[in-house]
Structure 1
Amino acid sequence: MVLITGICTFLYHLPQIYKWLLKPYYISSIFMTVAFLLVRKAPGLCEHLATQREDGNSCDFDWREMEILMFLSAIVMMKNRRAITMEQHVGNVFLFSKVANVILFFRLDIRLGILYLALCVAFLMTCKPPLYMGPEYIKYFSDKTIDEELQRDTRVTWIVEFYANWSSDCQSFAPVFADLSLKYNCPGLRFGKVDIGRYGEVSKRYRVSTSPLSKQLPSLMLFQGGKEIMRRPMVDNKGRAVSWTFNEENIIREFNLNELFQKSKKLNKSLGLVGEEQKNSPPEEGSDELHTNTPEEPTESKKDK
């Protein structure tokens, strides 16, 4: 039953996956993932390769290569148990397959190992995973706008993601955060992001370390009344993040998004009624009119990055 469900899910998302895999980053990664398989099976080339098989067939895997591939499969399955999105699943396959390919090529021929390792380094330096460009309702902050926006209207609750473009965890989390913004965004509950890899002062101001060893990327913070109420992941006394899974269920539960959304809708209705009454009746002499802030459209786009 689980297998049938998995196959149906794959077929349902097949058009999206097909379009996604056609991007240059994924095309290159696929070729590098299957590089050893292609070399070992290539007619005219595999006959000249070394092998430890008893039958001397150099166009098939020997027992040691099979062990390495089986170990690779086990590692990928273990890592993917905590994967949230399809990007994370595929990213784990790419990463550990390249590591296995390096070992296999060095074992086969040191010259092939050096060549493949050089290709991996060049790929790492020149190719970056594509940024999420799907639908979202998120305001992108800079170092100069984040404080101003959080303090603009204390009635607005903000959920802000602190991220860095170079972080694979942040890239994997992007579609999850975008989906939450589409479901829960309203004038009283808004979503924002700030690239602390680009704006280092913001990382110091909000005490979010950009070091890969700290495991603090991404970080989510809840702001109410312009002040931080909570953050995930939490940070211990040594400045290291407490392990926390960034999936949709955990975020909805920990940040009480359903409750926040209902309260924000009630606040919006009450503000709307007050606004209508003031429109229909002139304000009394000496009284101040109530001004409601309408939410601004996102002013900073990913293209600016």
Structure 2
Amino acid sequence: MGTNHPLPWLNLMVAEPFYLFHFLTFFSYFIVRSSATQALSSQFSDRLLHREIQAILAFLVLTVVKLVKEETWEAFIADTLFFAKGFLMAVALIMDYHLALCYMVGFLVIFVLTQQPAYHELGNASQLTPLQLETLLTEGNTSRFWLVEFRALCSSRCIRTSRFMSDLSITYSNKNFSFGTVDLGHFPNAAEKFGISLGVSMGQLPTYILFDNAVEVSRFPEVDYEAKASTPTIRKNLLCRHFELDRRLIDYVSGR
């Protein structure tokens, strides 16, 4: 997972409606469970407790696995909430299917009304409009190379990878190599200009394009125009290899 310490970021989560509503929904189960204890038979209570323990243990195992595998806290939190919803629905269904239906409706409302926040720190990357990007690419006094992430923060995939450019820019930016992000959610008309489809089924968000003196030399994911884009899992080390960031940094340091 990313090296950034999560605690400051977790403090901000309290003020985010997405996380606050999820917390209140999960916490409500304890209230319902406590209220229903006296109405349930001892045999049913023992069976329910057994299922709750199983759900908690399975949830903890999956959480540990995701903690090791995920590169960002945004992706880890998204997966953790997904598993928590599944286990809560399963346990609620054992208690009463009406309760499970209420939670299903509640999570649907949260999905419609709120959105998981993206990582906001830019590192050494620049947040650009399409016009600013075009100006920077065509000016002769800027960096030779620009690696630009085109994203739309209405996409959960973009949110999960939203800290990659910040981390990469801190490690690899120099006078010869700059990083930037363009939010196509704010500028959808620019998507066609850069050959990016905003359709979810096409899997082209986020798209990373490397420009060399204003000319596109590489992009990820690569697009087969006779089919839809390939959609491999985006990881920082994959981006490093694809755009040869280590080699380019060595070339810059050695003066080549």
TM-score norm. by structure 1 comes to 0.69
Aligned with residue 106 of structure 2, among 98, 101, 119 = 119
* Residue 14 of structure 2 corresponds to residue 22 of structure 1: yes
Q: 1:179: Cα distance to partner?
A: 1.8
Q: Distance in 1 between matches of 2:247 and 2:102?
A: 56
* Residue 231 of structure 2 corresponds to residue 245 of structure 1: no
Query: 1:220 maps to which residue?
Result: 208
Query: 1:292 maps to which residue?
Result: none
Letter in 2 for 1:46: T
CA shift digits 1:251-299 (9 cap, x unpaired): 22322223323444577xx9xxxxxxxxxxxxxxxxxxxxxxxxxxxxx
From the CA coordinates, give the structure whose radius of gyration is larger.
1
Aligned with residue 100 of structure 1, among 87, 102, 108 = 87
Cα distance change of structure 1 residues 64 and 218 upon mapping to structure 2, 3 Å threshold: same
Query: 1:280 maps to which residue?
Result: none
Check whether the contact 2:122–2:165 (CA below 8 A) recurs between aligned residues: no
- Percent of aligned positions with the same letter in both sequences? 20
CA shift digits 1:152-201 (9 cap, x unpaired): 23861000001111122222322221122122222321111111222222
Query: 2:45 maps to which residue?
Result: 58
Query: 1:199 maps to which residue?
Result: 187
Query: 1:184 maps to which residue?
Result: 172
Q: Structure 1: which 5+ runs fail to align?
A: 1-5, 271-305
* Residue 112 of structure 2 corresponds to residue 130 of structure 1: no
CA shift digits 1:93-143 (9 cap, x unpaired): 112211332343344323323322222122122222233233522222223
Q: Distance in 1 between matches of 2:219 and 2:161?
A: 16
Cα distance change of structure 1 residues 59 and 20 upon mapping to structure 2, 3 Å threshold: farther
Q: Distance in 2 between matches of 1:30 and 1:188?
A: 45
What RMSD in Å do the two structures reach over aligned CA positions?
Answer: 3.4
Letter in 1 for 2:198: T
Q: Secondary structure at the match of 1:210?
A: coil
Range 131-140 or range 220-229, more displaced: 131-140
Check whether the contact 1:157–1:188 (CA below 8 A) recurs between aligned residues: yes
Q: Distance in 2 between matches of 1:179 and 1:155?
A: 19
Q: 1:150: Cα distance to partner?
A: 1.8
Letter in 2 for 1:27: L
* Residue 138 of structure 2 corresponds to residue 151 of structure 1: yes
* Residue 77 of structure 2 corresponds to residue 90 of structure 1: yes
Check whether the contact 1:30–1:94 (CA below 8 A) recurs between aligned residues: no
Matched length:
253
Q: Distance in 2 between matches of 1:184 and 1:243?
A: 23
Q: Distance in 2 between matches of 1:187 and 1:201?
A: 30
Cα distance change of structure 1 residues 84 and 122 upon mapping to structure 2, 3 Å threshold: same
Q: Distance in 1 between matches of 2:171 and 2:65?
A: 31
Range 209-218 or range 27-36, more displaced: 27-36
Q: Distance in 1 between matches of 2:38 and 2:46?
A: 6
Check whether the contact 1:155–1:188 (CA below 8 A) recurs between aligned residues: yes
Cα distance change of structure 1 residues 264 and 201 upon mapping to structure 2, 3 Å threshold: farther
Letter in 1 for 2:8: Q
Q: Secondary structure at the match of 2:216?
A: strand
Q: 4+ residue runs of structure 1 moved beyond 6 angstroms?
A: none
Check whether the contact 2:48–2:94 (CA below 8 A) recurs between aligned residues: no
Check whether the contact 1:48–1:58 (CA below 8 A) recurs between aligned residues: no
Check whether the contact 1:161–1:220 (CA below 8 A) recurs between aligned residues: yes
Q: Distance in 2 between matches of 1:139 and 1:255?
A: 18
Check whether the contact 2:143–2:178 (CA below 8 A) recurs between aligned residues: no
Cα distance change of structure 1 residues 57 and 103 upon mapping to structure 2, 3 Å threshold: closer
Q: Distance in 1 between matches of 2:5 and 2:130?
A: 38
Q: 1:204: Cα distance to partner?
A: 1.6
